[in-house]
Structure 1
Amino acid sequence: MEILASAPGKTILFGEHAVVYGEPAIAGAVNKRATIKLREAPRDISIFKSDDLGFEAELDTVAKRYTLKKGKPGIIKYILEILSKFHDHSPIEIDLSLNIPIGSGLGSSAAVTVSTLAALHKYHGKKFDRIFIAKKAHEIENTVQRMASPLDTRVSTFGGLIYLSRKKKITKFNTNFKSSFVIGYTSKRGNTGRMVKSVKSLKNRNPTIIEPILKTIGKITDDAKLAITNKQEYRLGELMNVNQGLLDSLGVNTNELSRMVYLARKSGASGSKITGAGGGGSIIACCPKNQDKVFKALTYYDNAIKVNFSNEGVFVKEIKEGLNDNFEDWWKYIN
């Protein structure tokens, strides 16, 4: 039996850092995905490999150890954690395809975790339950990272654009928001834990200044919710620009991120800002028009990908004999 499962990456539109202090946030699934193929291993050892990432490893799922055959370990620790909790330790082969750039702030680890969990549950004949998958995927991420947001795994599981309220209630936007975006990212990865601690320290030293900034970011997020609901793309871009100024005041910007933010605007984006914790990582640019121009400008110095929001969350299927292994063919098959 061979199982295929796929889950989308994500991006945060609004609410970075403020969400830590009870303010709302908006995040969405993007049309870049992690795809897992899972089958019984041809020999008596479990294998995890990825041509896209250039690695292969033999796995000891009982001891949670691996022997690296090529490449860098990276995402392997998530797979070992999943297998130790949800697999019977019989030899399996896991093949990962990934078109989400690692370290770009697009939730690659969440997408891999969600898709692997979905594939493993199907492989063992268990009921496909998205609520369970989202919960357990967050637990895996939290174990590996020591501090993980449930937003990443929730969005990767269910897809779409979501709003996280001040009461921590997650609601999915009903509107089909079709604006195009460009994600720009540098080779320098951000460290979420370090940046959260940095903002907390700044807030503790300057509470009367920083607390109103965080509350204002929350108000911007509420306004952005209305802009998305009413499909006001240029209003959304304007709010992104204002939000970026406040993130800059929190000290989470870098020269590289700032360069991309302003280059995106100069190239025709209606708005641009850091996405994620900052200190490295990525920016997001809203491009109702000029997506190609913004993409070309950002790739001159750094890296970029074109993205759109996707309503498609995780899916899982048993591979039918005779169907092409090409992912695009599979996407047509399941839809």
Structure 2
Amino acid sequence: MLQLTDCSDAVHALASGSACGKAILLGEHAVVYGQPAIAVPIVDVRAQARVWAGSPGTGPAVYAADLAARFTPESDDQRGTGLVLAAQAAIDAFMGQGPPLIDLEIELRSLVPMARGMGSSAATSAAIVRAIAAHAHLSLDPAVLSRLVYLAEMHYHGNPSGVDNTVVAFERPVWFTRGSAPVFMPVGVSLHLLLADTGVPSRTRDTVAQVRAWRERDAATVDGLTAAIGALVCQAREHLDQGDLAGLGQAMSANHALLRLLGVSTPALDTLVEAASAAGALGAKLCGGGGGGCAVVLCPSGRADAISAALRRAGAQKLYETTIATA
């Protein structure tokens, strides 16, 4: 049931919304098979959407500035299908709650890189939904936002775990198990993270399908690897509770080794992980679906600059830095 609060006293001709990226500290791929995962918001890296009333009969149209392309329900460009789906899901959910929502123009700009394991599809969809809610003068419950974003995630990823839409909607560290309510985690110590981009797109749909196909052939091996990842996630939760950064970093690095065995890492990702470790990182691993994308690196206090330099020398095309504060 929608939980919306009327905010119609704040009327704006131009409404906006934003949403953050995310990183999975531990648990990707295994989470698809019932194991837990820990994900954190990357609040410093965001997508922004602006919404205004369009011309009658135009339907929802999304102009993605970063792609220099405009998408409508009639567009056959697959890059924009999920964005239009997110807009239409919000329109359907909010219909009758405020001003007419049928014909909307939406402008989208995002600093969350596409296909890099940082939740770009969830962030852009969430920004659109938040902007449409603001246009309708409605306060949007994060649980409703998460459900609407998940509809778009199904288009992008086929069988998404639900991690991305959850952490992007709530913007809090999340302990996530598929089929269970998310648990919002207190963090006992600040986490200084770097995300290092290989420059190669990550194809989550493809790597998830790859692991699934292997599991159909050899369930015992894949289930053993995912169970081992799940055990590391549980250890990492204890380390977070205790403020044990060294233990958390060791769990992250061990998680990467298991993801390599699952076949979802790449030489470029492995090189970044090894370079980070050699430069003094507490831990590092691939982030998201793998097959490309980013590595996430846990830095000790005062070492981020040195580790950043090492990652650039190792081939990182771009770096993103953020801090997860204690809560």
User: Where on the TM-score scale, by shorter chain, does this alignment land: which range?
Assistant: 0.7 to 0.9
- Gaps spanning 5+ residues in structure 2: where? 1-12, 92-99
Give the equivalent residue in structure 2 for 1:302.
316
2:325, 2:79 → 1: CA distance? 24
Q: What is the one-letter code of the residue matched to 1:77? A: T
In the alignment, does 2:40 pair up with 1:36?
no
Deviation of 1:149 (Å) = 2.7
TM alignment of 1:151-170, pairs within 5 A:
151-165=163-177, 168-170=180-182
Match of 2:74 in 1: 65
Count residues with an aligned counterpart. 302
Residue 87 (structure 2) aligns with: 83
Question: Which amino acid in structure 1 is aligned with residue 74 of structure 2?
Answer: R
TM-score by structure 1 length? 0.81
Q: How does 1:220-259 map to 2 (within 5 A)?
A: 220-259=232-271
- Give aligned-pair identity as a percent: 24
Q: How far is the alpha carbon of 1:307 from its aligned partner? A: 2.3
Shift in CA distance, 43/199, structure 1 to aligned 2, threshold 3 Å = closer
* Structure-2 change in CA distance of 1:42 and 1:79 (3 Å): same
Partner-residue secondary structure (3-state), 2:239: helix
- Listed one character per residue, the Cα deviations across residues 118-138 of structure 1 (whole Å, up to 9, x for unaligned) are 111221233422211111110
Q: Which structure 2 residues correspond to residues 184-223 of structure 1 after superposition, within 5 A? A: 184-223=196-235
Structure 2 CA distance for aligned equivalents of residues 275 and 16 of structure 1? 8
Give the match for residue 279 of structure 1: 291
In structure 2, C-alpha distance between the alignment counterparts of 1:151 and 1:165, rounded to whole Å: 8
- Aligned counterparts of 1:121 and 1:101: Cα–Cα separation in 2: 24
TM superposition shift of 1:26:
0.7
> What letter corresponds to residue 104 of structure 1 in structure 2?
R
Gaps of at least 5 residues in structure 1 are: 68-72, 313-335
Task: Tell me the CA shift for residue 107 of structure 1.
Answer: 0.4
Corresponding residue number in structure 2 for 1:49:
63
Structure 2 counterpart of 1:322: none
Change (3 A) 1:203 1:41: closer
Identify if the C-alpha distance between structure 1 residues 42 and 276 changes in structure 2 by more than 3 Å, giving closer, same or farther: same
Does the aligned pair in 1 maintain the 2:15–2:131 contact within 8 Å? Answer: yes
